[in-house]
Amino acid sequence: MNQSKSNTMHLKTIPYPKYEENLPQKGQHILAQCSDENIIVYQAFNPRIAKYAIANQEFGGEHYRFSRMSWIKPNFLWMMYRCGWAEKEAQKRVLAIEISKINFEKILENAVFSAYKSHIYQTQENWKTALESSSVRLQWDPDHDPYGAKLDRRAVQLGLRGEVLKRFATDWIISIQDITNFVLEQGAKVKTQQLNSLLVMEEAVYTVKSEKARQAVALSNLAST
């Protein structure tokens, strides 16, 4: 088992004023920080779950529930909106989780929309059958700026359960970083409206290689946005 040896954050940041420069302003796009082989996704937990995860570099322990659905988000600012910059109850520790792109696309391939989409499933029955058999839920929600205002662009979150959750939470994790201190520091800047000095994660549109995954999550065409 890998042990966390440092609280230093090993992620690329960028001043918020530069963040939007090369990003699409509308459509359904996966924004993420990636290396050649891996991708970062975010989750927020209570301190007990986070402490175990950092120490063991996987999820588990007496407080983590594999029987529940667990949501991951590859977009940093979407995670900040959901956790209130690490100030919401039970979301006070923010973790950056590194997995391979190969396994991330396995998650996408198994994703089923939480709500019925006729252009994807054709009938309600098809959708309900897919929903019951899949271990991955998909939602596209409005992305948000640092203040929490809705944007035209959509952000993805993926709910994992069952075997997919078990594999993600243990076998698929390459590293887990606790980025809570960074989040709190930047959240304080948001409170005082210091957006010119606000740092966020450097992200780009993630190019999904798997055609099955692209169809499952209904990505927008970058050229059309």
> pTM for the whole thing?
0.94
Average pLDDT over residues 10-31: 96
Q: pLDDT grade, residue 7 (50/70/90)?
A: low
Residue 105: half-sphere exposure toward Cβ, Cα within 13 Å = 16
Q: Which residue has the tokens 């001043």?
A: 15
Tell me the C-alpha distance between 107 and 79, whole Å: 18
Question: By the 8 A CB rule, do 208 and 15 touch?
Answer: no
Q: pLDDT grade, residue 1 (50/70/90)?
A: very low
Average pLDDT over residues 43-52: 98
Question: By the 8 A CB rule, do 210 and 14 touch?
Answer: no
Question: By the 8 A CB rule, do 146 and 190 touch?
Answer: yes
Average pLDDT over residues 137-145: 97
Name the H helices within 57-113.
76-83, 101-109
Q: pLDDT grade, residue 9 (50/70/90)?
A: confident
Phi first, then psi, for residue 103 (nearest 5°) are -75, -30
pLDDT of 89 over the 70 cut: yes
Condensed to tens digits (0 to 9), the pLDDT of residues 107-133 reads: 999 999 999 999 899 999 999 999 999
